[in-house]
């Protein structure tokens, strides 16, 4: 499929995705419990401003403000009949900022979980979930999205329903999972299982987002790179450090320097698209842009390198590699861009 997404990847070794949507919108006045998606029509100037700040910081990919854009999530706000309106508006806002940037900036249509549990454990059928994702995908495509970006899902049933629904829009599909429970998703999927889904479903890219923090996320990329096809594009979109409760609000403890270190380690672990998730501000992203542009390939990191630079990783993440996470980087079996032996300064 010849797309803008594939074209940009063919011309650039690495791409920078944007940072957080929700936590930055809270800083701009969003109230906890309100639907961010309503701001696409109620406060479009604020949504465009956030996109612009990320573009100014150097983002090559900006995600639409549609994480909760399925009818299931919008029903919580009595807006289930506004799926097309809100998703199309979100894509149009991002598209307008991207097109005015004067450079190649891609618009990714964010598609988050429905919030429902699918059969056989839950009451929602795969067919109904697939239809909801297809409805959202069509509106995002209509608004000008370049790629559909399924993120933070945790069950195989919902991931597959989302991919099938997204496919109906005719755009490339990316899927990132949140590996936040001892190297697994909340519904026990592993990075190796995501690699299998990506292979079977011919995803344009796959990876990890959100989760516990940068160290655990990079560990998931290491695990994913071991199981994925060599030409699979991997995505790393880590939270900005670890969340902490400060003065009645959640704050993330990651500094710009920490996120810059994360960029280097994510690339050396195999990621080609690197961004930030919860807590990642435009200021963090600017530091990440500098790190990405200055990157010199280093060895594939081991567990000690991750923990020294980014923080603790779980025993589950270690175990999935059968000890490979602690093996010396740059072995002869790891030749190629995911295990370069050049020195990074």
pLDDT above 70 coverage of the chain, percent: 92
Shared domain check, 234 and 168 = no
pLDDT of residue 69: 98
pLDDT confidence bin for 327, thresholds 50/70/90: very low
pTM (two decimals): 0.92
Shared domain check, 118 and 252 = no
**Residue ranges making up the domain that contains 228:** 203-345
Asked whether residue 194 is domain-assigned, the answer is no
pLDDT above 90 coverage of the chain, percent: 83
Q: Is the pLDDT score of 330 beyond 60?
A: no
Domain count of the fold of the chain: 2
121 to each of 107, 118, 150, 156, how far by Cα in Å?
34, 6, 21, 12
CATH code assigned at 336 = 3.20.20.330
Q: Is the pLDDT score of 57 beyond 50?
A: yes
How many angstroms separate the CA atoms of 173 and 200, rounded?
A: 13
Shared domain check, 208 and 72 = no
Tokens 């900036």 belong to residue: 105
Shared domain check, 248 and 106 = no
Shared domain check, 168 and 209 = no
Shared domain check, 169 and 211 = no
Shared domain check, 225 and 340 = yes
pLDDT of residue 322: 59
339 and 332 in contact (C-beta within 8 Å)?
no
pLDDT of residue 332: 31
pLDDT of residue 336: 35
Shared domain check, 172 and 303 = no
pLDDT of residue 1: 59
For residue 321, give both structure tokens: 């590699």
How many angstroms separate the CA atoms of 252 and 269, rounded?
A: 23
Shared domain check, 170 and 240 = no
Asked whether residue 188 is domain-assigned, the answer is no
Nearest-5° Cα angle at 57, 54 to 58: 95
Which residues, in sequence order, are CB contacts of 246 under 8 Å at separation 6+?
Answer: none
Asked whether residue 183 is domain-assigned, the answer is no
How many angstroms separate the CA atoms of 343 and 299, rounded?
A: 7
């Amino acid at each position: 499929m010849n797309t803008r997404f594939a074209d940009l990847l063919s011309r650039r070794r690495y791409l920078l995705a944007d940072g957080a949507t929700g936590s930055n919108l809270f800083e701009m006045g969003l109230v906890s419990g309100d639907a961010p998606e309503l701001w696409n029509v109620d406060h479009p100037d604020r949504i465009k401003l956030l996109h612009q700040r990320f573009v100014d910081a150097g983002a090559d990919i900006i995600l639409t403000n549609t994480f909760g854009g399925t009818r299931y999530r919008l029903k919580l706000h009595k807006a289930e009949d506004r799926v097309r309106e809100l998703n199309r508006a979100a894509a149009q806002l991002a598209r307008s900022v991207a097109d005015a940037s004067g450079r190649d900036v891609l618009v990714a249509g964010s598609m988050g979980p429905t919030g429902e549990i699918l059969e056989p454990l839950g009451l929602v059928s795969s067919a109904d979930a697939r239809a909801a994702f297809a409805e959202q995908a069509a509106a995002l495509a209509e608004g000008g999205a370049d790629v559909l970006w399924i993120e933070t899902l945790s069950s195989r049933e919902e991931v597959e329903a989302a991919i099938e629904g997204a496919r109906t829009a005719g755009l490339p599909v990316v899927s990132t999972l949140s590996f936040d429970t001892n190297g697994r998703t909340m519904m026990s999927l592993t990075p190796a299982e995501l690699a299998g889904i990506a292979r079977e479903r011919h995803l344009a890219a796959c990876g990890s987002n959100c989760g516990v923090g940068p160290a655990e996320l990079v560990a998931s990329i290491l695990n994913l790179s071991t199981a994925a096809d060599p030409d699979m594009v991997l995505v790393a979109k880590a939270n900005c450090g670890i969340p902490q409760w400060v003065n009645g609000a959640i704050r993330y403890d990651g500094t710009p320097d920490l996120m810059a270190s994360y960029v280097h380690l994510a690339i050396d672990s195999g990621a080609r698209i690197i961004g930030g998730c919860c807590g990642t501000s435009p200021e963090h992203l600017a530091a990440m842009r500098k790190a990405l542009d200055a990157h010199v390939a280093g060895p594939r990191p081991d567990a000690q390198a991750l923990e020294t630079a980014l923080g603790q990783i779980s025993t589950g993440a270690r175990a999935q590699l059968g000890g490979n996470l602690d093996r010396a980087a740059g072995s002869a079996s790891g030749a190629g861009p995911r295990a370069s032996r050049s020195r990074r300064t």
